């Protein structure tokens, strides 16, 4: 999979991409990640990427031109007619990122992550690009970069061959499901010593009875989910898919059309048809 990141702080990604799972994914050839500086595409003399908001008010707004040109330049790199990037804008106003959405994104051949900053981005370039808008949680960060890193990490570890056998993604929190499809939290884990600070490892884990261990882990997953996140047992996004915004499949006439998110792909949908360009 290829990921292009558009940011005004490209240096933030250097250490991140050189460390741990993202670095492994890149070394394995399962992921290529290209970070682009939006400022390099600013057509004005001072490489300005933001300006004061029309209507007044505090803060600055990121301008359309540098962002649009940066997207065009990134997408034209190594492009093939059959592979179109799913454009993602990291924003607190987006759909909250969940594991089903991560799994969907991880199966796309190409992502383009757009990181906003300042008070926001000129709405017209968002309308023009029609990205999938993703939030990593109900809090406001100073920019989309941390969200982009969260998303890259989450999709990198799902690429084939990236995680070792012993750390299989299939048993993570949110990956194990009940037969009804509800996502469960992970069970507790223990390692040596058998006793530490007066606390002992549950006997079943030392029994050598693999079926009993599996049963215990399942019970623990369900119990933890009941205690800590009962909402997960009530609302399963896969069993009950919510409409999601189309990933740059078409140009909406206005922001109102975008807000209705009418012909949006659902997480379980076929993956590639929906990213085809209009008229393709």
For residue 91, state whether it binds ligand ADE (rule: CB under 6 A): yes
The DSSP call for residue 267 is: T
Among residues 220, 153, 228, the alpha carbon closest in space to that of 186 is found at 220
Q: Is 84 a catalytic residue?
A: no
For residue 249, state whether it binds ligand ADE (rule: CB under 6 A): no
Helix or strand run (H / E) with residue 276? none
Q: Least distance in Å: CB of 9 to ligand ADE?
A: 12
Place of tokens 């490209």: 10
For residue 245, state whether it binds ligand ADE (rule: CB under 6 A): no
Among 62, 85, 90, 187, binds ligand ADE (CB under 6 A): 90
Q: Is 270 a catalytic residue?
A: no
For residue 141, state whether it binds ligand ADE (rule: CB under 6 A): yes
For residue 92, state whether it binds ligand ADE (rule: CB under 6 A): yes
Q: Residue 247: how many CB atoms within 10 A of its CB? A: 22
By beta-carbon distance, which residue lies closest to ligand ADE?
147
For residue 60, state whether it binds ligand ADE (rule: CB under 6 A): no
Angle at 45 between CA 43 and CA 48, to 5 degrees: 70
Select the span of 43-51, 143-151, 163-171, 228-236 touching ligand ADE (CB under 6 A).
Answer: 143-151
> Which residue among the candidates 84, 87, 110, 157 is catalytic per the annotation?
157
Among 22, 100, 147, 252, binds ligand ADE (CB under 6 A): 147
98 to 137: interface string for ligand ADE, x by CB under 6 A: -------------------------------------xxx
For residue 7, state whether it binds ligand ADE (rule: CB under 6 A): no
176 to 205: interface string for ligand ADE, x by CB under 6 A: ------------------------------
CA gap 220, 194 in Å, rounded: 19
Phi then psi dihedrals of residue 257, to 5 deg: -60, -40
For residue 275, state whether it binds ligand ADE (rule: CB under 6 A): no
Q: Least distance in Å: CB of 4 to ligand ADE?
A: 17
Burial of 233 (0-12, 13-18, 19+ CB in 10 A): middle
Q: Is 39 a catalytic residue?
A: no
CA gap 195, 96 in Å, rounded: 40
Report helix, strand or coil for 76: helix
Count of residues engaged in binding ligand ADE, rule: CB under 6 A: 12
- When the beta carbons of 115 and 158 are compared against ligand ADE, the nearer one is 115
CA gap 85, 82 in Å, rounded: 10
Q: Is 157 a catalytic residue?
A: yes
Q: Least distance in Å: CB of 91 to ligand ADE?
A: 5
DSSP line for 139-168: S--SBSHHHHHHHHHHHHTTSTTSS-GGG-
Tokens read off for 248? 């740059």
Q: Residue 80: how many CB atoms within 10 A of its CB? A: 8
CA gap 68, 52 in Å, rounded: 18
> Which residue among the candidates 69, 75, 95, 119 is catalytic per the annotation?
119
Q: Which residues are catalytic?
A: 92, 119, 157, 172
The residues that touch ligand ADE, with contacts defined as CB under 6 A, are 90-92, 135-137, 139-141, 143-144, 147
């Amino acid at each position: 999979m290829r990921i292009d990141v558009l940011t005004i702080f490209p240096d933030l990604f250097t250490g991140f991409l050189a460390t741990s799972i993202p670095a492994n994914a890149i070394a394995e050839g399962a992921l290529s990640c290209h970070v682009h500086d939006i400022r390099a595409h600013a057509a004005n003399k001072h490489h300005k990427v933001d300006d004061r908001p029309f209507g007044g008010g505090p803060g600055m707004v990121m301008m359309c031109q540098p962002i649009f040109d940066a997207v065009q330049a990134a997408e034209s790199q190594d492009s093939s007619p059959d592979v179109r990037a799913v454009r993602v804008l990291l924003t607190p106003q987006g759909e909250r990122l969940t594991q089903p959405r991560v799994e969907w994104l991880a199966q796309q051949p190409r992502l383009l992550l757009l990181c906003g900053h300042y008070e926001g981005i000129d709405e017209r370039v968002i309308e023009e690009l029609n990205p999938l808008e993703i939030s990593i949680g109900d809090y406001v960060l100073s920019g989309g970069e941390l969200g982009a890193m969260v998303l890259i990490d989450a999709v990198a570890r799902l690429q084939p061959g990236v995680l070792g056998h012993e750390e299989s993604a299939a048993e993570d929190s949110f990956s194990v499901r009940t037969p009804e499809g509800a996502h469960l939290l992970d069970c507790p884990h223990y390692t040596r010593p058998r006793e530490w600070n007066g606390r002992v490892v549950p006997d079943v884990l030392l029994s050598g009875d693999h079926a009993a261990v599996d049963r215990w882990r399942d019970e623990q997953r369900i119990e933890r989910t009941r205690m800590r996140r009962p909402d997960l047992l009530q609302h399963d996004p896969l069993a009950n898919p919510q409409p999601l915004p189309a990933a740059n499949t078409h140009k909406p006439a206005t922001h109102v059309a975008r807000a209705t998110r009418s012909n949006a792909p659902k997480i379980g949908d076929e993956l590639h048809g929906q990213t085809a360009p209009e008229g393709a």
